[in-house]
Structure 1
Amino acid sequence: MRNIVSIIVGSVIVALAFNLFLIPHQILSSGLGGIAMMLGIITPINTGILNFLLNLPLLIIGVLKLGKQFICYTILSVVVLSVSLYVIPVEAISTDQFLSCLFGGVISGLGVAIIFRASGSSGGFDILAMLLTKKRDFPLGTLLSVMNAIVVVISGFIFDWNSALLTLVGIYAAGKVIDTIHTSHIKLTLLIVTKKGEEVKSELLANLYRGITIIDGEGAYSGNKQKVLMTVITRYQLAEVKAILNKVDQNAFVNITQTTEVIGFFHRG
């Protein structure tokens, strides 16, 4: 319930940043939200409707391909954000473009960070990048950077290069706030020793967007056959893992260590 409330609050905060600071000055956010904002500015269609329509195909694919809990939280975020963009009036708080860009970036970054901390996502390019990295060995961060760069370039051609540069500043400010609040660099490695390996594996795969390695184990003293599940999670997912283990196997032995670095595909959200 706490995660659901956080995602709702974070999504409304993002909508406030868009409609009160960025859209009135033709400044875009990063990702698919930025494309929805651009189309909302140059067409009579509301940005909230466009945001939902652009995300809808990715959400449908995500339901089939990504972790159940992650995609459910993402769907909630997209719906709340789209409705909020539709309901909240587009009205400039400040007449200064740069201040609007800076505060819009900071406030939207705050909202996105709250969503990330609740193990969700605001949709858009995050889902697309994760789907692509499952098919090809591309670094997730590089993919997101390229996609956001495309938004900036399109902004320059559609509006003007001053707006494009302000969009870049806004994206940078949002990223800094997200990095400060959502410490996604803190990762944990879990070694779970359990007699209910299949049940634990199924629950983890259904609720977390994480890979799992399974190793056959044997108790040195008892000689009992057990499964050892190894996975890397973010710090904020630890509570979810504990809840799953409490439900499936309260006798599981879990070793939790902080991970310095992960090489290879690892969803940062």
Structure 2
Amino acid sequence: MQILGIIFGSVIVAMAFNLFLIPHEILSSGLSGISMIFGILTPINTGIVNFLLNLPLLILGYLKLGRKFIIHTILSVTVISIGLYTVPVITMAHDIILSSIFGGVVAGIGIGIIFRCQGSSGGLDVIGMLIARKKDFPIGTMLTMMNAAIILISGLLFNWDTALYTMVSIFVTGKVVDAVYTHHEKLTLMIVTQKGEEMREHLLGNIYRGVTVFDGMGGFTNEKRKILMTVISRYELGVVKTLISEIDSSAFVNITETVEVMGLFHKPRV
């Protein structure tokens, strides 16, 4: 089901670009926006540029990030690139304001579906994950700066009206993604398992959050167990649930919403 969801979401993203944004020279965010610039200014197809720009990041991400996340991301980037290459560029709406809004909405729905299926559309998502593994860097600030650069390039190459329409599209896309899949919310997980050491190593090897381990004992059985506590973003919940079941499918897991996190939220640097 996750594979089908990623394919479906990626096709939606490609359609948003070719039917709403590209016909009016409205750009997307991140590497997709850079790909669209190349596609507009050169004879090179946007899909080919998108794939080539993402390829080195995907290789690096495969080596540094979780295998399943990167495989899903590679699938998404491939499907989006094929979609950009095969879906004809047609002006669905002649009003540029409507195109920027609806293009942002459709793209946001597609990206949100991809996130829900434990993948990403590549580009800045992979960069953010890589940086977060090395240092406590504010990913949101970095993404905002990168997108601001895309808007500035749009204004310099085309015109400032187009740049502002691009800003509208990026803003709408972000809001829709949050509505489809709210990854900014934090969750606290309490995992009770008899395979504590295996679970600890598996989680630390595949997510970039810290894990605290407590000793516990079953109230009815008096059997010793390990209790692992970690705080993650809602964005990571699907991945973490899969990781837990891979080690101990019978583990007891309590998931609660977290109001606020103080201190180092990312995995400590070694």
Give me the TM-score of the superposition, normalised by structure 2.
0.88
Residues in 1 aligned to 2:162 and 2:239: alpha-carbon distance in whole angstroms: 41
Paired residues of 1:216 and 1:225 also in contact (CA < 8 A):
no
Q: Which moved more, 1:237-246 or 1:81-90?
A: 237-246
- Aligned letter for 1:179? D
Residues in 1 aligned to 2:218 and 2:83: alpha-carbon distance in whole angstroms: 57
2:211 is the counterpart of 1:213: yes
% of aligned pairs identical?
55
Residues in 1 aligned to 2:249 and 2:108: alpha-carbon distance in whole angstroms: 38
Deviation string for 1:79-107 (max 9, x for gaps)?
11011111101121122211111111111
Deviation string for 1:168-189 (max 9, x for gaps)?
0101111111122212244321
> What 5-or-longer segments of structure 2 have no aligned partner?
none
Residues in 2 aligned to 1:242 and 1:131: alpha-carbon distance in whole angstroms: 21
Paired residues of 1:212 and 1:229 also in contact (CA < 8 A):
no
Paired residues of 2:187 and 2:233 also in contact (CA < 8 A):
yes
For residue 189 of structure 1, give the secondary structure of its aligned residue in structure 2.
Answer: strand
Partner of 1:130: 129
Partner of 2:161: 162
- Aligned letter for 2:209? G
Q: 1:71 to 1:176 in 2, by over 3 A?
A: same
Q: 1:234 to 1:137 in 2, by over 3 A?
A: closer
- Aligned letter for 1:48? G
Residues in 1 aligned to 2:236 and 2:20: alpha-carbon distance in whole angstroms: 32
Residues in 1 aligned to 2:238 and 2:149: alpha-carbon distance in whole angstroms: 37
For residue 189 of structure 2, give the secondary structure of its aligned residue in structure 1.
Answer: strand
Partner of 1:147: 146
Residues in 2 aligned to 1:220 and 1:96: alpha-carbon distance in whole angstroms: 64
Partner of 1:9: 8
Q: Give 1:227 deviation, angstroms.
A: 3.1
> What 5-or-longer segments of structure 1 have no aligned partner?
none
Q: Give 1:194 deviation, angstroms.
A: 2.1
Partner of 1:53: 52
Residues in 1 aligned to 2:130 and 2:110: alpha-carbon distance in whole angstroms: 24
Deviation string for 1:117-148 (max 9, x for gaps)?
11211010111122123333321111111111
Deviation string for 1:229-259 (max 9, x for gaps)?
2222345755554555445324433332221
Paired residues of 2:209 and 2:265 also in contact (CA < 8 A):
no
Q: Which moved more, 1:224-233 or 1:181-190?
A: 224-233
Q: 1:181 to 1:64 in 2, by over 3 A?
A: same
Deviation string for 1:190-215 (max 9, x for gaps)?
12122212322344456x53424142
Residues in 2 aligned to 1:134 and 1:241: alpha-carbon distance in whole angstroms: 16
Paired residues of 1:26 and 1:41 also in contact (CA < 8 A):
yes
Alpha-carbon RMSD across the aligned residues, in angstroms, is 2.4
Give me the TM-score of the superposition, normalised by structure 1.
0.89
Paired residues of 1:201 and 1:212 also in contact (CA < 8 A):
no
Paired residues of 2:209 and 2:232 also in contact (CA < 8 A):
no
**Number of residue pairs matched by the alignment:** 265
Paired residues of 2:133 and 2:266 also in contact (CA < 8 A):
no
